[in-house]
Structure 1
Amino acid sequence: MQRAAAGVLRAARGLLYERHGEPVAVVQLKDIEVAQLGDTDVHVKMLAAPVNPADINMIQGTYAILSPLPAVGGNEGVGEVLEVGSRVAALKPGDWVIPAISGLGTWRTQGVFPERMLLKVPSDIPVLCAATLSVNPCTAYRMLADFETLAPGDSVIQNAANSGVGQAVIQIAKASGIKTINVVRDRPDLPKLVERLMALGADHVVTEEMLRKPEMKDIFKSIPKPRLALNCVGGKSTTEMLRHLQPRGTMVTYGGMAKQPVMVPAQGNGPIEAEHRTQRLLWALPSLSPQSAFIFRDVRLRGFWMTQWRKDHEQDQQSVATMMDALCQLIRGGHLTTPACTQVPFQDYKEALEAAMKPFTSSKQILLL
């Protein structure tokens, strides 16, 4: 067994919930047990962990996967290895690790986890970048890489562009020479948000209302219509994005913030409700001009969930390593930065939970452990 030279901490605290409900009401900061270290286990001191929408949904009991109760919250974060079991070969004390799976329970000061549940990350990247690496940047990377073969000069359109995934899409696309059209909801601080997204590398930032206006045609005088649309909202926002998608383009849905179905206009019959599964359909989509006839476009609708991708690639460590290496290189080069965030001391967790659930939230709450 390898141990850190300074010895190993054993007392731990974590954000525990024993029933599902509103996070502020059911999450409590409590002393938690640190398991005994097995031969293939790793003892980790957590450094920082964000509050993501999926974390909130899991606590509420509305997410696709739920941890057995009682559970420690948090699916993402970065920690430092304190000690490793005798059969652990890939990690050593002092290494930084992030979750390789969902449901790890990262909102804790320390914990013991099986080695297979952890990924080593370089400790020469900023701690907040490491803490927010395993969900949003990975989601953005995979959606840009896996559904369309994009080349420099191509364009992508996305809604929820101010989200963590949206910010990562802007930066990864910019580094690859791909243009982005970024859709956000109208809000009181819209000019400030537009300025921030443009500073990240956005080519165009428009509101959902602007998607329906003829002025959108001006954008496509300088860049091609998008071959890829990334949808995290649903409802009307999705329908309007589809109007601007190239024939035979792909729309990938990875979230449903509006809690409304994905609706696709069909010729003469009103909208078709599209299920979130891989499918290739031929639909008639109206053009922007109400005088124009319906035209057929071979549109692909796909669904994406990073958790499922990880499950599908458990035995394909090369794909995981290639992705992580690419993202870390972007971080080192200054091309991928931490999303706008607010650092919150662990004991002030209720403030972080409340802030994470407010509308028009553009700042990710990160618990400092």
Structure 2
Amino acid sequence: MQRAAARALRGARVPSARPRSAPARGAPRGLVYGQHGEPPAVLRLKDLELAKLGDSDVHVKMLAAPINPADINMIQGTYALLSPLPAVGGNEGVGEVLEVGRHVKALEPGDWVIPASTSLGTWRTQGVFPEEALLKVPRDIPVLCAATLSVNPCTAYRMLADFETLAPGDSVIQNAANSGVGQAVIQIAKASGIKTINVVRDRPDLPKLVERLMALGADHVITEEMLRKPEMKDIFKNIPKPRLALNCVGGKSATEMLRHLQPKGTMVTYGGMAKQPVMVPVSAFIFRDVQLRGFWMTQWRKEHAQDPQVLASMMDALFQLIRRGQLSAPACTQVPLQDYRAALEAAMKPFTSSKQILLF
């Protein structure tokens, strides 16, 4: 899939043929970077030339695409996976199919699609992509849910499902609970009867944030400082200690969260916002036999590329949660494409609780 995505990026410079199944559109535009650096400085909104539609290709009009931390890191050149330069930014979003090649079987004009792989370059008004790089999503789910579906909810779903066998009444503890993944964890766990203990950084609008997370289904919302206080034991008078901890911060936050795990519990690290290593007391290994694991959604997709049924099962489960009102899009700020600089700057500010969504 990575080769397919790279081919789509290279193809963005090839002149276009007029679509056979949709009216001709204006010149597509996209946010392009030719070197790594801070996104507001290196990204440029440019006209793009569509690749010629091949037999197995799909012409897509993008509808909406979020700005995720991984997008920022890729442009900065600090992410584990980097696109060949020049590149169009964005790894996630939703688009509408305008036209399909003659060998495309699973998609037709009017369908909604999301990326099946990273590095697709979703910050553009239109693109021509290989069919294998796209997943069909139902049009009866809200567009913001579809635009933010392929990264954070999938990450949350897999971490809740793959590391510990959780049953209703069990508990999970997580930091960065106001992040996109954190909000999805709260909702998916709630739908499964799993209790959540949600750790956030202290901030001026803390009461408002606590209220919002509780409205999503959080059972407890605490600050990093509260993790270290004796009052934590009061939480565990009503719910069991967690068997699973989800770490997106690292540093002291991960160490303190680990202290509250059950013996033989698992901490899964999927991010490092503090840019500090995970420090674990030797006693946690010897006397409580805790497990430390890592998770990267991109790697999971690679490992399961030959088993489409596993992916389809996960996506169907997420679709059903959305339809039942049990999984919503994260708090979003919708921004027109031409205002991308303001959206990037907002996405890079500390204590950000609203995901920036580019609208095309």
TM-score by length of 1: 0.92
Q: Is 1:365 aligned with 2:356?
A: yes
Structure 1: tracts of 5 or more residues without a match: 268-281, 285-295
Alignment-mate amino acid for residue 254 of structure 2: T
Shift of 1:8: 3.7
Over the aligned positions, Cα root-mean-square deviation in angstroms equals 1.3
Give the Cα separation in 1 of the matches to 2:235 and 2:108.
52
Does 2:242 align with 1:226? yes
Identify the residue that residue 55 of structure 2 maps to in structure 1: 39
* 8 A contact 2:21–2:99 mirrored in 1: no
Q: 1:78–1:96: 8 Å Cα contact kept in structure 2?
A: yes
Contact kept in structure 2, 1:8 and 1:82, CA below 8 Å:
no
Give the SS at the match of 2:285.
Answer: strand
* Partner of residue 24, structure 1: 40
Shift of 1:218: 0.3
Give secondary structure in 2 for the equivalent of 1:297: coil
1:11: how far off?
A: 1.6
Contact 2:250 2:275 in 1 (8 A): yes
Alpha-carbon separation, structure 2, partners of 1:146 and 1:8: 46
Q: What number of residue pairs does the alignment pair up?
A: 344
- Percent of matched pairs sharing the same residue: 83
1:52 Cα deviation (Å)? 0.2
CA–CA distance in 2 between the matches of 1:298 and 1:4? 61
2: CA distance between counterparts of 1:149 and 1:163? 24
Is 1:98 matched up with 2:89? no
> Once the two structures are superposed, what CA deviation does each residue of 1:199-235 show, in whole Å capped at 9, x if it has no partner?
0000000000000101000000000000000000000
Q: Partner amino acid for 2:169?
A: G
> AA paired with 2:172?
V
2:332 corresponds to which letter in structure 1? Answer: C
C-alpha contact 2:22 2:99 (8 A) present in aligned 1: no
Shift of residue 181, structure 1, vs aligned partner? 0.1
Give the drift of 1:7. Answer: 1.7
Say which SS state the counterpart of residue 239 (structure 1) adopts: helix
| Equivalent residues of 1:2, 1:86 under 8 A apart | no
> For the residues of structure 2 that align with 1:355 and 1:132, how far apart are their CA atoms?
17
Within 5 Å, give how 1:103-114 maps onto structure 2.
Answer: 103-114=119-130
Partner Cα distance (2:223, 2:90) in 1: 31
The answer on 1:248 being equivalent to 2:264 is: yes
Are 1:87 and 2:103 matched, yes or no? yes
Cα distance, 1:4 vs structure 2: 7.1
Partner of 1:322: 313
2:74 equivalent to 1:72: no
CA distance in structure 2 between the partners assigned to 1:77 and 1:98 by the alignment: 6
Does residue 1:217 correspond to 2:233, yes or no? yes
Corresponding residue number in structure 1 for 2:199: 183
Partner of 2:285: 283
| Equivalent in the alignment of 1:339 | 330
Provide TM-score, normalisation by structure 2. 0.94
Say if 2:346 is the partner of 1:355.
yes
Deviation digits for residues 304-351 of structure 1 (CA, Å, limit 9, x no counterpart): 000000001111110100000000100010000010010000100001
Q: Which range is displaced more, 9-18 or 74-83? A: 9-18
Structure 2 residue ranges without an equivalent (≥5)? 1-16
Deviation string for 1:245-295 (max 9, x for gaps)?
Answer: 00000000000000000110124xxxxxxxxxxxxxx714xxxxxxxxxxx
